[in-house]
Amino acid sequence: MAFTSYTYQVFLSFRGEDTRKNFTDHLYSTLSKAGIVTFRDDNSIQRGENIELEIEKAIQESQMSVVVLSKDYASSTWCLDELVMIMDRKRTAGHIVLPVFYDVDPSQVGEQTGNYAEAFAKHQDHFQDDMERVEKWKATLKEVAYLGGMVLQDRHESQFIGDIVEEVGKRLDSTVLLAPYIAWHRYRLLVKKTKMIVYILYIICISIFVGLFLYKFICTWIFLQSEFDRHLKGDQYDRVIWKIGNGPNRAGTEQDFVRELLRSTGTKKNIDMGIKIMCSLVLAFCLS
């Protein structure tokens, strides 16, 4: 039984110099007030050799990513590498990606025109020995531009942010609906505990039926042994065999004798019923 859970519901990707202290900050606050647990790089992670691993881990532990594509997003190689990780996660693990075009047109992002063209002109000069990396950035931007996201256009930012949060709620699973009433980490813990209790109950039920089956089997075996011992005394064996075999032919009459004992006690029927119940429980457990 698999327990699928996420540390974060949303991973927020943005160009800090463009939107950190205004649009992205308001978006983060609104997401948090809606009960949606969001990860953002707020400089709590120090730039260093492990930063890429930390960001990649945060993306893997997030159910979806919201990518705020601003005018100077492409000028940051860090943002571009982050976007590559997000899209790789989308292709390999079904990660949900919501592009947000903040004061930029999706075609400008996809075709790398305007500010994006200027940014890539600098990247091509700086990464002449690693043009494969630059081409991967271009392809990733084109891919994310045509996913179908949210465009600011002429809306007020407050209305735009509200629409984004509503769209995030739709794309996330139904557990978001409980977020305003139950803290997310507590809800995740509650779900995991509930699933564990169900799992334990399944194990207990199966163990009980296995125990009952073994108990019935052992009792049946002891009963048969005692019946054999009782009927095999003196000449009773011959009379029992004659009665069951309906004649002097004793071939196979021992099996008939056992079958007759099982039929008379109803034990075989009980064992068959127990096996069917056990198989049903195991099948239901595997399908759950």
Q: Any idea which residues carry the catalytic annotation?
A: 82
In 3D space, the residue among 103, 132, 146 whose CA is nearest the CA of residue 14 turns out to be 103
Only one residue has tokens 């606050």, namely 29
Q: What are the tokens at 259?
A: 């079958």
Only one residue has tokens 């009792």, namely 219
* CB distance 82 to 136 below 8 Å: no
Q: How many angstroms separate the CA atoms of 288 and 183, rounded?
A: 27
Query: DSSP readout, 17-44?
Result: HHHTTTHHHHHHHHHHHTT--EEE--S-
Query: DSSP readout, 94-140?
Result: --EEEEEESSS-HHHHHHT-THHHHHHHHHHHHTTT-HHHHHHHHHH
Only one residue has tokens 């032919």, namely 249
Number of other residues whose CB lies within 10 A of the CB of residue 82: 22
One-letter amino acid at 233 equals: K
